[in-house]
Structure formats: structure tokens, C-alpha cells
A and B are shown apart, each in its own frame.
Chain A
Amino acid sequence: MVTADLSAARRIHSSLSLAAPIRAGDLSRFMRPLITALIVLALVHGGLLFVQPTNAPAAELAGDGPQVGVVFDLGGRGDKSFNDGAYLGAESAAKKLQARVQFIEPGDGSDRGAGLRLLAAERRALVVGVGFIFTDDLIELAKEYPDVNFAGVDFAVGTDKFGDPIPPPPNVAALKFREEEGSFLVGALAALVGGSKKVGFLGGMDMPLIHKDEAGYRAGVMHVCKDCTVIAQYAGVTPEAFRNPSKGKELALSQYQQGVNVIFHASGSTGLGMFEAARAMGRGHYGIGVDADQYGEAPGYVLTSMVKGVDNVVYDTIRRVKDGTFQGGIFSYGLKEKGVGYVYDARNRALIPDSVRARLLDIERDIVAGRIRVPSTRS
């Protein structure tokens, strides 16, 4: 009982040997070797301090254009979506507009503000925060550095008590996307290609941001097929729901078995399970990707992908800084501004009949022209 428990604790504790002081006896004889080690290390370090490598790579993407700083979200580079999109946009701005760009990847929450501040203090022409999470930091800094331009990708625009949007400070560009427009198009596509009166939607975490996708998708389906039904399911209520491919596969399989032929996912890597399910079901079953072109996940089974043009938007903002046309305010990017869209290229052309393509182009024109109003909330 207690005894066994205690001895176990003791073993573990002693095996960690964290708190075990050294025996008083063994001291002085270790002084010399330790000090020798100290001196040697100090000398090595001292020597290395003066080494000057000849071919130091450029600290930043260089050019004589505007100086730009980009602070990524905690996810950082390599997420194949958001942050990478911003990187691509800035990179092409460096190439085409000779912008000088410095990137910062924060380590923890307080680094966000610190990273923005670091760049603002250098009086860069434009400081971009990638992700809604930068909203507060951008507002705070914009007031402090009125002469610096800021931009926030997915900037969260607050509402006052009357429900009207509160505009950001004049030197902040809030870059927003109308994902629902892209979803509307792929919804229409799903209904037209699927042909089974049933289409599927697979959401990740059950939250407003994803509801926006579902709402647009649902409306798109209804627009071309009044008597179609949309089976919408979510993988969960926590962020885990964006990282659960097996759950995604399970949900997608059940939808396919109910007679759904096309499913649109907005669920991060959970959607990878959906592609796998499509492949398992075989010919005639498709998935629609999100954010980036996901054709490569399951060639032949990816009907298209709804893409969000973070790269275009970032590039566009840098261009406006260079042109001197930058101004603050809420910028909403939809089909019209090429902020959202769907993939139609050599790889998936065969999956989309020309008649369908023509119909989609019509719808796109109607949305751009305002003849179709796309809802951004459910019901």
C-alpha cells in the first residue's frame, strides 16, 4: 500500500535526480576540471565571435521598392494555406515590385504585438499581420504609429451596439474575404455535376467562420437545384475537428452511402479523410477542396477546390503602397476582386462538362454584378 507507493515515488524521483544535491564530500576535486572546461568553452566562444562568414545570405528579400514587414500567425510558414499564401504574395511583390520584405514568426502571444512593433518602429511602409488574431494589436499600434500603414488579413471588424461595423483606424486596411461567394460557386458545381439531388458538406469545427462556407454552399446548391438536399455535418466542436482525417473519412463515407456524389469540405486536414473516402468509393464520387488547390490529394476525385487568394490580396496591398494609393478601411475581397474563386485548369477540366463551366461563368457574372446576393450566415 503506502509503502510500495512511496518507494515507487522515490525511485522515480531519484531517477530524475533533479533535486539531489551533490555530496558535500566530492566538491573541491571537481573544481579544477570544471573550471578548465569553462575556460576552454569561453575561449572557443570568444574565438567564434569574431568569425565573419563571407557569403552571408541576404537578410531580407531585397529591392528598392517599399519596405514591407509581415508577421505570421502562430501556425507560421509551411501551413500550405494562410501563412504560405501571405508569403507567396509578399515574395512576388519583392520580385515584381522590388519590395523589401522582412518576415517574423512569433513564438508566443506577446510576440505578436512585439513583432508588429519591431517592424513599425523601423517605420516600414507597410506592416502586415496575417490572421484575425492580430486585430487588437494592429488597432493599438496603428494609433501609436499613425505614419505607418498596416494591413490585417482576415481582420476581425467589430460591431457597435447598433450592429454597425466599427471602422478600423485610418491607416489600417482590414483585408476580408467573402468566402461565401466561392462556396456558392462550388455549391452550384456540386449540384450540377453530382446529379443525385443530394450533395454533401463537411465542416471542421462547428463555428461561425465555417458556417459562412456552409451558407454560401447551400445557397449555391439551391440556386441551380431547388429540390436538392444538402447533408451538412461537422467533425466536432473543438479545433481538433480540423485535424481529424479518420473522422472526416467516416463522415464522408456515410454521406456517399446516402447517395451523395459530391462533398465540399471546409475542415483543414480532416478533409483529407474525405478525399480518401471518395477514392474508396470509386468512380463518380468527388470531393471539393478548400483554401488551396487540393487536386494532388486524390487525382481524379477532386472535382475542384475553393481557393482564397491571400497571395493576391497581399500583393495587391503592397502594390497600392508602392503606387501611393494605399488607404485604410475595410476591404472585402470576393469574386469580383479575385479574392476567392475555384480551380479550373488542365487537371480537372475533364471532370467539369463545358455546359456546367458555362453555367458557372454566368453565375459568377451575376454575383459580381450583384444580381445574386450570397448569404453569409445560415438561414
Chain B
Amino acid sequence: MRAATSAAIEDGVLPTLTALLVALVAGDLLILSYGQAPGEVWRLMMSGTWGNAYGIGQVLYKATTLVFTGLSVAIGLRAGLFNIGAESQLAAGGFCAAALGLLLPTGMTPWLAIPMCLLAAMLGGALVGFIPGVLRARFGAHEVIATIMLNFVVLALLNWAISATGLAVPETLHTPPVASSSIPRLAAFFPVFHGSAANGTILLALMAVTVSAWLLFRSRFGYELRATGLQPLAAESAGIRVPRIWMMAMVLGGAVAGLGGSNFVLGYKNYFEDGFNGGAGFLGIAVALVGRNNPFGVLLAALFFATLSQGGLAIHALVPKQMVEVLEGIVILAVAVSVPEVRRLLRARPAPSATTLPVTV
């Protein structure tokens, strides 16, 4: 059992840790290339994120959205599908939450309005996930292509809905505020978080992590889903309806990503704004990768990327914001490489005599 634990540590933690260190060192060099002192920049980054309640709040807010999109991608990957569509699923979820919120009477109790809007967000995301899911299950269309294409379609449709149909407040790209279904901000309970965007959706994100973990690793559905992802032919032979699993994984992933839309729409701004997704769906792919498709790993990875993103703002005075984007890229690359390919590289250590190897005749 001890061996199993240490194996789990080696397996899950060491490669990721190495990747992070690689990124840190690369960051040091980048900072130096910009003529700044790495120690000072990192210190500023930490103090601007985890150094005060506002910073923490902002990190939590950003992490919340990333948890949802990361889970969405991870669920797909566990089923053997690469869901690139979290971006549009997120946007569609946010839009549906806002749209329903606007339709609900203003005096409605939040106890009813919020769950209804959350449900709408899930349905919106699920619908966007369903389309590539059914295309895959029914017609064998590759989900990567389908989700990428659908991103264009959905984002353009939402933009059109906002800017060309008069749904938006004039001269802006957002809807009027949704009165009845506002999720309270953390600052309402803990005044130290004053001003930060962090809100009650964070609890929803934690629930999503727990439920996803249970679903993937404890439930029968998860058992079938993972089997499908690992060995689709074996799953098929075992009577698991593989196309159905694929469809459900896409719908579920879409619903989770869609739910993420509520963080901005119900929790922060209280309205849908065109482009609020701002790449969080795509970053979800990185979150899932770094989190190794494990819901709890996704949670940690989301916090990490949120810290980087918020920290980028804090060090803005010293280094350009692109540095943070480069760092994100390095982390993703390093993780992708170190798991498990780096191991193979390490294994092929050259033999003592390997270099002097003329074949003796």
C-alpha cells in the first residue's frame, strides 16, 4: 500500500511539479530579458494575488470559471473526446442564464430565480455540447472539428443576438441587468473581499468538482465512461453503448461549461456581455491537462492559472502582460511533455560504452 501511495505521488505530482519549475525558470529568464529582477517581480505577483483579500478574491473569481471549463474538457477527455468547445458552451450558458433572467418577473424570489437561471445556463451549454456529441455518435464526425466550428457559429450567433437584435443596452455590448437572480458576492458575507468579483458561484464550482469526481470514479456511469475513453472496443464488447456515452459526455461537459457562465452573468456583472468568456474556455483545456483530468487536479490547476492571470495584472508595471501568456504556454507545454514522455527520455539513459560502439569483426 505504501508503494501504491508513493507511486501515486510520483505519477501525479512529480511531473507536474517539474513542469511548474521549468516554467518558473523560464519566467525568470523572461523577466531578466526585460531587465527586471525576478525576485521582485514574483514578489509583486504574489502580493497582488495571494497577498491581500482583494487579490485572493480576484483569483477565486477567475478560478471559478476555469474550474467549470476545465471540468468540461476533463470529462470529455475521460470519455476519449477532445472537447474544444468549452468556450462557446460557456458563452451559451451565460447567455441563456441572462436571457431567462430577463424574462422572469423582477419581483421573483432569488430562491427560485437563481436555480432556474442556473438550469438555463446548463441547458444552454448542454445544447451546444449536444450538437457535436450527436454528430459524433450518429455520423462519426470528429468532435474536434465539430466543436471548433461550433465555436465560430455560436459566438457569432450570440454576438448577433446582442448587437443586432436590440437586446443590448444602447452603445454597449451587454444586456440590461438581470434583476431577480443575482448570486451574492463574497464581499456580502466577508467584507474583506470588498470590490472583488468573487461570488457565491465558487460554492457551485466546489460542488461541481465533488460531483464530477464522484461521477467519474464512483458511479456506474463514470465506470462506463472511463472504459469507453480508455478502450472503446472493450467497452463496446461489454455491451456499453459507446456512442451514447460519447453523446452524454459531450452534453455533460457542455452543461458544466455552461454553468460556468453563471459566474460572470449571475455572480459578477449581472448581465450577459458579448465576449465575457474571454478565452476561459480555451484555457480550460490547459486546466484539464495540467490537472491530469482529475476533478481535484482541475481545481488546483484552475487556481494556478487564475493566479497567473491575476498576477499578470499586478506585475504589469514591470513586465508586459504577454509574459504571463508565454508562461501559461510554457506550463502547458512542460506538462504535456513531462507526462509521460519525459519519463521515456529519462529511461533511455545512454549506456557507459554506448558511444564507443564500432562493431567488432
Contact = CB atoms under 8 A, between A and B. Distances in A.
Interface of A: 2-3, 5-10, 12-13, 16-22, 24, 26-31, 33-35, 37-38, 41-42, 44-45, 48-53, 55-57, 59-60, 74, 102-111, 113-115, 117-118, 132-133, 135-136, 144, 154, 156-159, 205-209, 237-240
Contacts of A55: 35
B318 A237 contact: no
5 contacts: A41-B21, A59-B317, A105-B321, A108-B279, A144-B195
Contacts of B156: 238, 240
Interface of B: 6-7, 10-11, 14-15, 17-18, 21-22, 24-25, 28-29, 32, 34-39, 42, 48, 54, 58, 61-62, 77-78, 80, 82, 140, 142, 156, 159-160, 163-164, 169-174, 195, 197, 229-233, 236, 242-243, 264, 268-269, 273, 275-276, 278-280, 289, 293, 309-310, 312-314, 316-318, 320-321, 324-325, 340-343, 346-347, 349
Nearest to A52: B37
B62 A110 contact: yes
Contacts of B349: 33
Contacts of B6: 27-28
A48 B25 contact: yes
Given A208-B171, A238-B156, A6 B242 contact: yes
A70 B190 CA distance: 30
Given A51-B32, A205-B163, A19 B340 contact: no
A110 B37 contact: no
A363 to B, nearest CB: 27
A59 B315 CA distance: 10
A53 B32 contact: yes
Looking at chain A's contact residues, is the secondary structure mostly helix, strand, loop, or mixed?
helix
A201 to B, nearest CB: 19
Given A29-B347, A111-B313, 7 more contacts: A19-B230, A20-B340, A107-B324, A108-B279, A109-B264, A110-B61, A110-B62
Looking at chain B's contact residues, is the secondary structure mostly helix, strand, loop, or mixed?
helix
Contacts of B22: 41
A342 to B, nearest CB: 24
A313 to B, nearest CB: 17
Contacts of A114: 58, 197, 310, 313
A9 B243 CA distance: 11
Contact of A133 (B17, B32, B80, B172): B172
Contacts of A157: 171
Nearest to A205: B163
Contacts of B316: 102-105, 115
Contact of A113 (B142, B159, B197): B197
Nearest to A7: B233
Contacts of A26: 343, 347
B160 A41 contact: no
Contact of B10 (A2, A9, A31, A102): A31
Contacts of A2: 236, 242-243
Contacts of B58: 110, 114
Contacts of B77: 16, 18-19
